[in-house]
Amino acid sequence: MVTDGETWWNKVDGKEGKSCASCHNDAATTMKGVGARYPKWDEASKKPINIELQINKCRTEQMGAEPFEFDKGGQIGLTAYIKHQSLGMPMGIDLKAGEMQKWWDMGKETYYTRFGQLNLSCANCHEDLMGKMIRADHLSQGQTNGFPTYRLKDGNNSIHNRFRGCIRDTRAAQPKAFSDELMALEVYVAWRGTGLSVETPSVRQ
Amino acid sequence: MNWGKTVTGLSAAMLVCMPAAMAEVAPGDVKIEDLKVAAAITDQAGNPEEGAKAFKDTKGGNCLACHANKAMPKDLFQGNVGPALDGVAGRYEPALLRAILVNSKAVFGPQTVMPGFYTLDVGKNVREESVGKTVLTAQQVEDIVAYLGTLKE
């Protein structure tokens, strides 16, 4: 997926006849450390923004191209490519910018809320049961530092797809990708990973 | 949670809600008293073979996700979130097993991660097709109770 991302990085698209490389040149220097600092505050939308939405912002505002739909086109590839430029660097997001703290609070609230017919919270599985086996899965801390990941059974997996999958497994209604609820969760979960090295793209079962 | 309240006035409510013709007790009417549901919640006796099926079905009880069970050696990938259920019949009587299945939280406390299988006391934002429904039917609860009764060491 990283190589796919590199292809998209150099691909001219949209009315302006530009590629990502036209403005950002060599990702190895311009994107170094960027992925480790996301999600970050976006003053224009007055909301947190993640890599996927930043890519769409550049596509619509800078390139005159269509935004990628969730998990489509070059979204996962480019996100992986950008995060990969921070390989080994510690995750650290800025909660002091804008209203990030408020979103962190919202995300934390969600993390500890029990959802669905099975009545389980993120914390139940990734804090209380961390290290246990649930069917064939070894429960991890549910960190995002390896995302997007490559799953042996079904390929590339984005953060919001993973969140949606975990919520579905509690038999709750799934919030939409990039909804306020999932953006707040991404902020909070990224914060829980403070100091962990970026490992994109990690391979998962 | 209002188990305290429901327990009071229990026998009167049971008499009203469970006339002889009724096939099963509605989830809201099942009484858990002293960590037990004394009487069966359907009038058809539990069938251990059906219980074994519901026990492993990932869309049903999915008990193996969290519990190991040596009596099902062909099923790989048994979880260890909860205790292994080997010999559980020797540890617990049916009335207690029934209570655990109906609403584990009334037995183990609100912190438990074990889902309640015949209760409407569930989490937030339940998906549309499951709103107002229990994970298992009353009959499946009785079938699983019967199946657990076969797990002797």
Does residue A91 fall inside a structural domain? no
Q: Is A132 within 8 Å of B115 when comparing Cβ atoms?
A: no
Task: Assess whether A123 and A150 both reside in one domain.
Answer: yes
B72 Cβ under 8 Å from any chain A Cβ: no
Which chain A residues are closer than 8 Å to B122 by Cβ? 116-119
Q: How confident is the model at residue B3 (pLDDT cuts 50, 70, 90)?
A: very low
Nearest to B25 by CA among B146, B134, B149, B147: B134
Q: What is the pLDDT along chain A (205 residues), one digit of tens a residue?
A: 999 999 999 999 999 999 999 999 999 999 999 999 999 999 999 999 999 999 999 999 999 999 999 999 999 999 999 999 999 999 999 999 999 999 999 999 999 999 999 999 999 999 999 999 999 999 999 999 999 999 998 899 999 999 999 999 999 999 999 999 999 999 999 999 999 999 999 999 8
pLDDT confidence of residue B73: 94
DSSP A120: B
A124 Cβ under 8 Å from any chain B Cβ: yes
Task: Assess whether A125 and A77 both reside in one domain.
Answer: no
Task: Assess whether A62 and A32 both reside in one domain.
Answer: yes
Name the residue type at position B136. Answer: L
d(CA A53, CA A39): 10
Which chain B residues are closer than 8 Å to A134 by Cβ? 65-66, 79, 81
Nearest to B104 by CA among B85, B126, B82: B82
Indicate the average pLDDT of chain B: 88
Does residue A73 fall inside a structural domain? yes
Residues B37, B136 contacting (CB under 8 angstroms): no
Task: Assess whether A46 and A80 both reside in one domain.
Answer: yes
The partner residues of A155 in beta bridges, in order of sequence, read A151
Q: Is B123 within 8 Å of A117 when comparing Cβ atoms?
A: yes
Q: How confident is the model at residue B22 (pLDDT cuts 50, 70, 90)?
A: low
Does residue A95 fall inside a structural domain? no
Residue A67: other Cβ atoms inside 10 A = 16
Q: Is A116 within 8 Å of B127 when comparing Cβ atoms?
A: yes
B102-133 b/e with 16+ CB inside 10 Å = b?
bbbbbbeeeebbbbbbbbeebbebbbeebeee
Task: Assess whether A198 and A117 both reside in one domain.
Answer: yes
- Taking each continuous run of H as one helix and of E as one strand, the counts in chain B are 7, 0
Q: Kindly report the nearest CA distance between residue B140 and chain A, in angstroms.
A: 17
Q: Is A132 within 8 Å of B130 when comparing Cβ atoms?
A: no
User: What are the Cα distances from residue B15, in Å, to A27, B6, B10, B35, B54?
Assistant: 74, 14, 9, 20, 30
State the CATH number of the domain containing residue A29. 1.10.760.10
- Name all domains of chain B by residue range, CATH numbers in brackets: 24-148 (1.10.760.10)
A205 contact partners, CB below 8 Å, separation of at least 6: A136, A137, A151, A152, A153
Does residue A171 fall inside a structural domain? yes
pLDDT confidence of residue B7: 42
Task: Assess whether A122 and A56 both reside in one domain.
Answer: no
Share of chain B above pLDDT 90, in %: 83
| Residue range B118-144: mean pLDDT, rounded | 97
| Residue range B84-100: mean pLDDT, rounded | 96
| Residue range B106-130: mean pLDDT, rounded | 96
pLDDT confidence of residue B66: 97
B1 has pLDDT over 50 = no
Q: Which of B103, B122, B131 to mutate to test the interface with A (most CBs of A within 10 A)?
A: B122
The boundaries of the domain holding residue A73 are 2-84
pLDDT confidence of residue B9: 42
Q: Is B122 within 8 Å of A170 when comparing Cβ atoms?
A: no
B89 has pLDDT over 80 = yes
pTM comes to 0.93
Q: Which of A110, A112, A121, A135 to mutate to test the interface with B (most CBs of B within 10 A)?
A: A135
B61 Cβ under 8 Å from any chain A Cβ: no
The partner residues of A151 in beta bridges, in order of sequence, read A155, A204
Task: Assess whether A80 and A104 both reside in one domain.
Answer: no
Kindly report whether the peptide bond that precedes residue B110 is cis, defined as omega within 30 degrees of 0.
no
Domain count of the fold of chain A: 2
By CB neighbour count within 10 A (0-12 exposed, 13-18 middle, 19+ buried), where does A203 fall?
Answer: exposed
Q: How confident is the model at residue B102 (pLDDT cuts 50, 70, 90)?
A: very high
B116 contact partners, CB below 8 Å, separation of at least 6: A119, B102, B103, B104, B105, B106, B122, B135
Among residues A84, A114, A143, which one ends one of the domains?
A: A84
Active site residue A166: yes
Torsions phi, psi for B57 (to 5 deg): -55, 125
pLDDT confidence of residue B153: 80
B1 Cβ under 8 Å from any chain A Cβ: no
